[in-house]
A and B are shown apart, each in its own frame.
Chain A
């Protein structure tokens, strides 16, 4: 029996990825999780990070919602970008912006937490 399940990544303007896979790595709000087939139904949301489907299919996200049920994984994200398409200058720019924001005092702890993850992920992608 195949160990694959369906995965769908959707952004507001299009379906970014549609396919099936054996395992997905998700940067969830409370930590990274891996989803395999027959996972129990789950709803959770994402922090900035990279969704890893396979070596060639990696996506950068800043936020998003995940639903897994009946061997269908659904990722809704407004900021999803394929790592293949994202350029390093773009990352540098985002990195600069995030670093500037994190230093300002006007943000809440939650925002700081999210921004720190963003910076870390962006650095990892570029490094």
Chain B
């Protein structure tokens, strides 16, 4: 049985934890709004770019001259996985969900006898992956100091990926990130970015136009495809940022509620033992008086 003083201390400490989680929740809520806006603002660009590429590829007459980024280099041996996570913790299952998905994917790749290379973005992902798959990690990036992720950061990674591809360091590239569905649900996702993979069921309007190209399809594609890689990475970043805040908000909301429950329970305990000690003292006094 903890003493009254101990209980008092516990209550105080839980209350201050509750204050912290509450503040974190508020901050996350404010940041979420901004991140969500950013994610939404970023969507048209990537959608329209994919649209253009789809239109381009449709009107391409022969695939033999097509850039390798689009059709692949014909090999299927080395896989590059870019795992995008947050730099900070305390956001529920956010980081572990991506890592879980990524790890199961890694396992499959290795089981199939393929070679695996990993780039981690965000320090939390690196921490979780390095224990098991540390030897496959070829690079790690972190944008902890950056307040806001912009195209430049995504471009940095995109350029790096393309450089590796041109050196034939890998054949296929996947990115892992959390897709922001709403505040409560974030879905960890993997997407193939090299060779460019365009989903058929995307909300792409079926265009029947025959386009005029200047200079010509191949040159435009060569200009566009590397950009598309960066843009896809940026999209993943933005979705991730919104997901992180959403996840943190729900996690902190739960924590605040749990802390509240705990405080209630401890307060009842505290009051009970306070009353018990008063009763005990009374009984001692009364029985003392009676024995006189």
Contact = CB atoms under 8 A, between A and B. Distances in A.
Question: Chain B: interface secondary structure?
Answer: helix
B214 A70 contact: no
Interface string A9-27: 0111111000000000000
A40 B227 CA distance: 25
Given A10-B44, A12-B45, A74-B48, A69 B155 contact: no
Contact of B52 (A30, A40, A65): A65
Contacts of B213: 42-44
A10 B209 contact: no
Contact of A44 (B41, B45, B51, B220): B220
A54 interface: no
B121 interface: no
A65 B49 contact: yes
Contacts of A44: 213-215, 220
B223 A69 contact: no
A36 to B, nearest CB: 15
A30 B41 CA distance: 30
Interface in B142-173: 150-151, 154-155
A76 interface: yes
A28 interface: yes
A5 interface: no
A78 B227 contact: yes
Contacts of B214: 28-30, 42-44
Contacts of B220: 43-45, 65
Contact of A78 (B155, B210, B211): B155
Interface string B39-67: 00110111011011001100000000000
A46 B288 CA distance: 99
A97 interface: no
B84 interface: no
Contacts of A57: none
A16 to B, nearest CB: 10
Interface in B183-238: 207, 209-215, 220, 223-224, 227, 231, 234
B168 to A, nearest CB: 21
Residue with the highest number of chain B CB atoms closer than 10 Å, among A28, A40, A45, A70: A45
B38 interface: yes
Question: Chain A: interface secondary structure?
Answer: strand
A4 interface: no
A41 B211 contact: yes
Contact of B41 (A13, A41, A74): A13
B155 A41 contact: no
A69 B52 CA distance: 11
Contacts of B210: 41
A67 interface: yes
B121 to A, nearest CB: 17
Contact of A69 (B56, B151, B207): B207
A10 B44 CA distance: 8
B52 A70 contact: no
A70 B234 contact: no
Contact of B151 (A43, A70, A74, A78): A78
Contacts of B41: 13-15
A61 to B, nearest CB: 13
Contacts of A40: 212
Interface string B19-31: 0000000000000
Interface of A: 10-15, 28-30, 40-45, 65, 67, 69-70, 74, 76, 78
Interface of B: 38, 41-42, 44-46, 48-49, 51-52, 55-56, 150-151, 154-155, 207, 209-215, 220, 223-224, 227, 231, 234
13 contacts: A10-B44, A11-B45, A13-B150, A29-B214, A30-B215, A43-B56, A43-B211, A45-B224, A65-B49, A65-B52, A67-B51, A67-B55, A76-B45
